[in-house]
Amino acid sequence: MNAAGPAGLRVAVVGAGPAGFYTAGALAALRPDARIDLIERLPTPYGLVRFGVAPDHQDTKKIQGLFEQIALLPQLRFIGNVELGAAVSLAELRAHYDAVVLSCGAPHDAPLDIPGADLPGVYGAAQLVGWYNGHPDHAGLDPRLDHPGAVVIGNGNVAIDIARILSKSPDELASSDIAPYAMARIAQSVPGDVHVVGRRGPVEAKFTTGELGELADLAQAVALADPGEIPATAPDTLPVRDRKVKQKNLDLFHAFAAADPARHARRIRFHFFARPLAILGSERAEGVRFERTRMEDGRAVGTGDTFDLACGLVAYAIGYRPRPFEGLGAVADRLENDEGRIGPGIYVAGWLRRGPSGKIGTNRGDGEQVAARIAAEVAPAGRGGFEALAQLLNARGVRPTGFDDWKRIEAQETARATAGAPRGKVTSVEEMLAICAAG
Ligand code: NAP
């Protein structure tokens, strides 16, 4: 539906995740004349909320309700199944729209640059989280959980998500929207140790207290830490607010250090001051060699002492990278931009703008700022907008899907949900398109 007049601003927002929805919603409020096309590679909206947020964090996923309201605004059009760079180029979008906002995140894993990282059984967080969240790109990952050891490299909330999901019982996951195949695989996994390893210390770790605290109360796994690695108090050189947060984390680690390892057959073991040197194994991952570190000016420096952890699966959650965009400059984990503007008529929001950090709500301010810039500095130039895009896609044999198609997929997912679960996810694009076609 597009009720706005033909003379209005035409804006394409690429990527229907949190940054895209917040930007589109803010722009719709600021510029009632705008027609905003929210273009998404998959037939499903919501991006990181659907595929990144942990499946047992259903409260966080409730933000989808707000995004649905935005999608149903008369100025908005959801255009699924259209991939930038494949179905349409950035130059073509730019030609047909007054402004293009890139909000398609950072879908790739930052590389784990050590020997053996390409062995089977080694997965980046984007892959493994995508797998248990039913992302069509990763549904076929088939990770083996038949070894009593798993190693998670990284000390951020994604590392915690992975350790927790791998350690939860079927009952604990019953109310989640974990992909059914992942639920079955995790239920059959061999009990043992999930090692979470950080190259720096518990004070430097990026875990938030709420996420860490969840590990204290798992039904079939106990969280453990080495008392020798946990300082009694957070450094008083930290700003007061940071110190309070860090102290809460340290208190949790002290509780983990005092926990009885025999309480459960599954354990989440925190190891600090250890940087990965190599993945061990010939046919597939069999372990990880680490070098102990000491802190120098806030940096982890190798000491030469090494130790190995045996495992059958390695997950590295060490950050994400955007896909490359031809003709646009990138700095490590984001696109070069000036407060959300890349160049004439091209803007960027969310992780692509600021790098992979923050909570879902962090994208709100980002989107509002970019929307305000566009509203203030872009004028309509009589471009073709959706009609021109639709012609181009039609000529290429690309069938875009709409929000009503998504609602059909969603209805199927709701119908497939097992008791207590919000949905049973459809995890292949072919099946999604078949559901759309049947509707
Ligand atoms: P993150 O918080 O930036 O953590 C990345 C971790 O990887 C850090 O511990 C970092 O260590 C480590 N690392 C980086 N390169 C490494 C290397 N080469 N070798 C070993 N370790 C390395 O990233 P994230 O966990 O991917 O999370 C992304 C964002 O999403 C964060 O802002 C996070 O809070 C957010 N998130 C939030 C939730 C939630 O609120 N529930 C859940 C998931 C994610 P150094 O610190 O030493 O660099």
The SS3 call for residue 113 is coil
For the CA of 210, the closest atom of ligand 1 is 41
* % of the chain surpassing 70 pLDDT: 99
Closest CA to 218 of 287, 273, 178, 268: 268
For the CA of 357, the closest atom of ligand 1 is 32
Atom 22, ligand 1: residue with shortest CA distance = 318
Q: What is the pLDDT of residues 197-227, one digit of tens each?
A: 999 999 999 999 999 999 999 999 999 999 9
* % of the chain surpassing 90 pLDDT: 96
Q: What is the 3-state secondary structure (H, E, C) of 353-378?
A: HHCCCCCCCHHHHHHHHHHHHHHHHC
Q: How many CA atoms lie within 13 A of 154 on its CB side?
A: 23
Atom 35, ligand 1: residue with shortest CA distance = 358
Sorting pLDDT into bands at 50, 70 and 90, what band is 4? very low
Testing ligand 1's pocket by substitution, the residue of 58, 61, 200, 206 carrying the most ligand atoms inside 8 A of its CB is: 206
User: What's the average model confidence in pLDDT over 248-264?
Assistant: 98
Testing ligand 1's pocket by substitution, the residue of 199, 208, 288, 309 carrying the most ligand atoms inside 8 A of its CB is: 199
CB within 8 A of 240, min separation 6: which ones?
none
Atom 28, ligand 1: residue with shortest CA distance = 357
Q: What is the pLDDT of residues 154-189, one digit of tens each?
A: 999 999 999 999 999 999 999 999 999 999 999 999
User: What's the average model confidence in pLDDT over 297-318?
Assistant: 97
Closest CA to 350 of 123, 21, 85, 42: 21
Q: Which residues approach ligand 1 with their CB closer than 6 A? A: 153-159, 161, 198-200, 204, 206, 208, 211, 275-276, 317-319, 356-359
38 C-beta neighbours (distance < 10 Å), count: 28
Whether pLDDT at 6 is above 70 = no
* pTM of the entire predicted model: 0.97
Sorting pLDDT into bands at 50, 70 and 90, what band is 325? confident
Atom 18, ligand 1: residue with shortest CA distance = 112
- For residue 169, which amino acid is it? S
User: What's the average model confidence in pLDDT over 90-113?
Assistant: 97
Checking 208-215 for CB contacts under 8 A at 24+ apart, the result is 208/157, 208/245, 209/245, 209/248, 209/249, 209/252, 211/157, 211/160, 211/161, 212/160, 212/249, 212/252, 212/253, 213/252, 214/160, 214/164, 215/160, 215/163, 215/164, 215/252, 215/256, 215/268
For the CA of 206, the closest atom of ligand 1 is 2
CB within 8 A of 431, min separation 6: which ones?
none
201 C-beta neighbours (distance < 10 Å), count: 18
Closest CA to 293 of 308, 279, 305, 281: 305
In Å, how far from its chain's centre is CA 237? 33
Ligand 1 mean position to 388 CA, how many Å? 41
Whether pLDDT at 80 is above 80 = yes
Testing ligand 1's pocket by substitution, the residue of 61, 127, 129, 158 carrying the most ligand atoms inside 8 A of its CB is: 158
Instruction: Tell me the C-alpha distance between 321 and 29, whole Å.
Output: 31
For the CA of 112, the closest atom of ligand 1 is 18
For position 2, what pLDDT does the model report? 43
For position 328, what pLDDT does the model report? 87
